[in-house]
Structure 1
Amino acid sequence: MTNDISPTPVTASAVTTSALPLLPGDWELDPLHSAVNFTIRHLGIAKVRGRFRDLKAELYVGESADDVRVSAEIDLASIDTGNADRDAHTRAPDLLDVASRPTMTYRSTRVSGKDGDWSMEGELTIGGVSRPVTLDVEFGGVVDSVIDNRRHAGFEATGEIRRSDYGLDFGGGMLGDVVKIQLDMQFVEPQG
């Protein structure tokens, strides 16, 4: 891979496992344009949507997809479902218990795919319980930003977890076990 990257957006179809349109190095998270969203069933008939406001993430890009590493840490107390009372109850000891489980972390173990069909395998840890989680990843491309004159790369990742796998089986009958996750992440190219 060369460091000569076209200033025009690069689509996912240009990506292969042997060459990535991303400059090798540590890419910085753009928190203003990144989000961790989720959906869970309520009473089996409707969905509650929410997000976590506070997250940290790191993206390391090597020479190929085999050398890509992603890690993230999410502050569970930053949950936001659009209802302050529900959020306060969700943080409480009988639900998330953020006092003893303050963060959720993810560490990738493998990135694979080609064209627009990518996946990222990794390990999600909540409250000392770790389970494998695979995310489907869509590469949105790379573009020069007129805001900061730096190159930005965008990704969307989707997947699901089961609350019961992490001992979070509160709310039986009221809340579904499956939580669907959608990550919109934007990273900024390393300088120099």
Structure 2
Amino acid sequence: MRWKAAGASAFLFAALVAEPGLGAPAPDLQAAAGTYRVTSASRIGFSIGQVGGGGIQGTFGNFSGTFRIDGGNIGRSTVQFTIYPQSVVTRERRMEDFLRSSAVFHAEKFPTVTFRSTAVRQTASDQAIVEGLLTARGTTRPETFNVRLTGWNRSSIAFEVTGSLYRSRYGMDVGTPVYSNVVRFDMDIRGRRN
């Protein structure tokens, strides 16, 4: 599966939307420099298209991560993120069980999906592209995410993170071509300063 950038960058600075008390959006990433821990207020959403409409929409309820914004050189910033696929939630219990099964995530054998940044490139005062290595089902591939800073204050920060990947790259191509090979991510990532 290839997580290609789709609109604002991986794993991750996943998509933080300002929570109450964050104040106005930061004018730039440098101003928000610091180390942050991803909080449970974040939302990790995904969707997979389907021929004829419908498709699969879901979220992950269990995840963790940290990121560091280097104010002196955004390119030295880092992101680490972990998703626990056993926590996947969709509109149907049957679909959740299928996604956790050996046909897709094989959550029993591979309990985590991880992302570790390898490069961060600032593209605007409040935006960056994050490149990194995604590991799922024992396979590691390079992926890219778009990140946009949406708010921060002295203790909290919020990002919108988007991207897409090809699930076949991770051995999860069951159901294609009826279900799209492309998984789109739309994440609201919130962090608390360490």
Which TM-score band applies after superposition, normalised by the shorter structure?
A: 0.7 to 0.9
Unmatched 5+ residue regions in structure 1?
1-6, 145-150
The residue aligned with 1:142 is: 152
Structure number with greater CO (CA < 8 Å, separation at least 6) is 2
RMSD, aligned α-carbons: 2.0
Where does residue 66 of structure 1 map in the other structure?
Answer: 75
Alignment partners' CA distance in 2, 1:8 and 1:156: 14
1:118 matched to which residue of 2?
128
Q: 8 Å contact 1:137–1:156 — kept in the other structure?
A: yes
What letter is aligned with 2:53? I
Question: 1:30 aligned to 2:39?
Answer: yes
What does residue 15 of structure 1 align with? 28
List alignment gaps of at least 5 residues for structure 2. Answer: 1-20
What is residue 15 of structure 2 aligned with on the other side? none
C-alpha displacement at 1:172, in angstroms?
Answer: 2.4
8 Å CA contact 2:105–2:137 kept in 1: the answer is no
Q: Structure 2 length normalisation: TM-score? A: 0.80
Deviation at 1:96, TM superposition (A): 2.2
Report matched runs for 1:33-182 at 5 Å.
33-62=41-70, 63-113=72-122, 114-143=124-153, 151-182=155-186
Displacement of 1:95 in angstroms is: 2.7
Q: Which residue of 2 aligns with 1:148?
A: none
Alpha-carbon distance in 1 for matches of 2:97, 2:90: 10
> For residues 28 and 117 of structure 1, do their structure 2 counterparts lie closer, same or farther at Cα, with a shift above 3 Å needed?
closer
> How far has the Cα of 1:143 moved from its partner?
2.7
Distance 2:143 2:52 in 1: 24
How much has 1:101 moved relative to structure 2?
Answer: 2.0
Whichever residue aligns with residue 162 of structure 2, its letter is: T
Q: CA shift at 1:10, angstroms? A: 5.2
Asked which structure has the greater CA Rg, the reply is: 1
Task: Report the AA paired with residue 128 of structure 2.
Answer: W
| Contact 1:23–1:189 under 8 Å retained in 2 | no
Identical-residue share of aligned pairs (%): 24
**Structure 1-normalised TM-score?**
0.81
Which stretch shifts more, 166-175 or 34-43? 166-175
- Report deviation, 1:42: 2.2
- Whether the 8 Å contact between 1:106 and 1:123 is mirrored in structure 2 is yes
Q: Displacement of 1:28 after TM fit?
A: 1.9
Distance 1:102 1:174 in 2: 27
SS in 1 for 2:172: coil
